[in-house]
Amino acid sequence: MDLTPSTREEMAAALREASAAGQVVDIRGAGLHARRGRPFTADQTISTRGLARLVDHVPDDMTITVEGGMTVQDVQGAAAAHRQGWPQAPAEPGATVGGVLAAAVSGRRRLRYGPVRDSLLEVVVATGDGRIVKGGGRTVKTVTGYDLPRLLTGSLGTLGVIVQATLRLWPLPMAETWFHATGDDAAMLALGQQVIADLHRPTAVVASPGALHVCLTGVPDDVVAQPGMQPGGEPHGPVGPGLVEVGVPPVALPALARRLAADGRDYEAWLGTGICHVAVASAGEVAAVRDLAALHGGHAQVIDGDDPLRIDPFGPPPPGADIMRRIKDAFDPAGILCPGRFAGAGAVPA
């Protein structure tokens, strides 16, 4: 059974009924992150696409308040009318605000603008048992208790449904251009590190096998090609049956990328941030990438892939798994929300 509530009250009522009936619920926006977490069977799917309204836009405060099912494209369009934008969000076609926040998907411009969680000022969520809870503030992050905006960011729909969000906006830059260079992997990684050292706040520095892409924003006179680079388009990312996201200390990322290149893997390393996406084709490759991440002081999780690649998508339970379970019980007492996407549940044997 599929439901598309059109108000937050309808959303809360649907979740309340599902909890009472013990029905497992899958939450969907555009479905771009449906292949995250362990495979699970849902009794019903609840869509956020009926909650797609612009609630408020205060250009002077550089904030916008929207419902969770509104698309990122529509948010950018509304903000652009006042020369503003939401640069932390990726530009995936059809992506919804709630989906981006629930999956904590930051775009390649993270190096300059920070992670997407830093743009969330206030959030309204419908919990698994049908309560409507608000956290944060539209102008200042004042928290007394749970920091709900950060708690909900990356929760993958396991705690509740984001029905409304207030986002911090940024002025649109006067100019923005991507530049690229090609060469052997070691040279490209060295060039990327040099760009970060020489330039003041580059927007993105992205290394991939045999290539480097750099995004610069600012006044036109500052947006110029660095030595050995020329104008080019934004990179497309690694391609494969599955995708693993690795997080390591930023200083360790070049060494990780060199190992990935030596192993012949298709990767995209966001230099300066510690984030790296790696294409994988089997559970064995997932394990190999995870071991490499651990060797460099980090972790790895599967963010896209068929069922066989997602038997153990998160790896070892995090140190705070017990706290995560207690929070899950507080927000979703019946355990109906996206059980396969709850990282605190631990690995499921194949």
Rg over CA atoms, the chain:
20
pLDDT score for 200: 85
pLDDT score for 138: 83
**How many domains would you assign to the chain?**
2
In a domain, 318, yes or no: no
Same-domain check for residues 185 and 160: no
- DSSP per-residue codes, 251-281: GGHHHHHHHHHHTT--EEEETTTTEEEEEE-
pLDDT score for 345: 75
Which of 36, 170, 58 minimizes the C-alpha distance to 112?
170
In a domain, 324, yes or no: no
Confidence of residue 317 (pLDDT cuts 50, 70, 90): confident
Domain boundary among 141, 171, 201: 171
* pLDDT tens-digit map of 248-285: 999 999 999 999 999 999 999 999 999 999 999 999 99
In a domain, 326, yes or no: no
pLDDT score for 144: 52
Backbone φ and ψ of 271, nearest 5°? -60, 140
pLDDT score for 124: 97
- Percentage of the residues of the chain whose pLDDT score is greater than 90: 88
CB-CB contact of 108 with 204 (8 Å): yes
Same-domain check for residues 254 and 294: yes
Cα–Cα–Cα angle for 30, 35, 41, rounded to 5 degrees: 100
The residues with which 124 forms a beta bridge, in sequence order, are 134, 164
- Over 70: is that where the pLDDT of 36 sits? yes
pLDDT score for 319: 83
pLDDT score for 142: 53
Domain ranges, residue 11: 2-171
Same-domain check for residues 135 and 56: yes
Interval 166-194 mean pLDDT: 96
pLDDT score for 344: 81
- Over 80: is that where the pLDDT of 337 sits? yes
Instruction: Determine the Cα–Cα distance for residues 196 and 251; give it in Å rounded to an integer.
Output: 12
CB-CB contact of 48 with 338 (8 Å): no
Confidence of residue 306 (pLDDT cuts 50, 70, 90): very high
Interval 74-96 mean pLDDT: 95
β-pairing, 160-168 vs 175-182, is unpaired
Same-domain check for residues 297 and 189: yes
3-state helix, strand, coil in the chain (%, to 5): 30, 25, 45
Lowest mean pLDDT among 34-43, 119-128, 309-318, 341-350: 341-350
pLDDT score for 157: 97
In a domain, 327, yes or no: no
pLDDT score for 318: 81
Output the average pLDDT for the chain.
Answer: 94
Burial 259-295 (b: 16+ CB within 10 A, else e): ebbeeebbbbbbbbbbbbbbbbeebebbebbbebbee
Interval 294-315 mean pLDDT: 96
Same-domain check for residues 157 and 198: no
Which of 235, 285, 229, 297 minimizes the C-alpha distance to 260?
285
The residues with which 213 forms a beta bridge, in sequence order, are 180, 206
Distance of CA 274 to the CA centre of its chain: 14
Structure tokens at 163: 């029905």
Instruction: Determine the Cα–Cα distance for residues 36 and 343; give it in Å rounded to an integer.
Output: 11
In a domain, 330, yes or no: no
Interval 70-83 mean pLDDT: 97
Cα–Cα–Cα angle for 101, 114, 78, rounded to 5 degrees: 60
Backbone φ and ψ of 151, nearest 5°? -65, -40
Phi-psi region of 346 (alpha: psi -120 to 50; beta: other; left: phi over 0): left
pLDDT score for 348: 44
- Over 50: is that where the pLDDT of 83 sits? yes
Instruction: Determine the Cα–Cα distance for residues 158 and 120; give it in Å rounded to an integer.
Output: 18
Same-domain check for residues 199 and 87: no
Same-domain check for residues 157 and 28: yes
Sign of the Cα torsion 18, 327, 169, 30 reads negative
Confidence of residue 347 (pLDDT cuts 50, 70, 90): very low
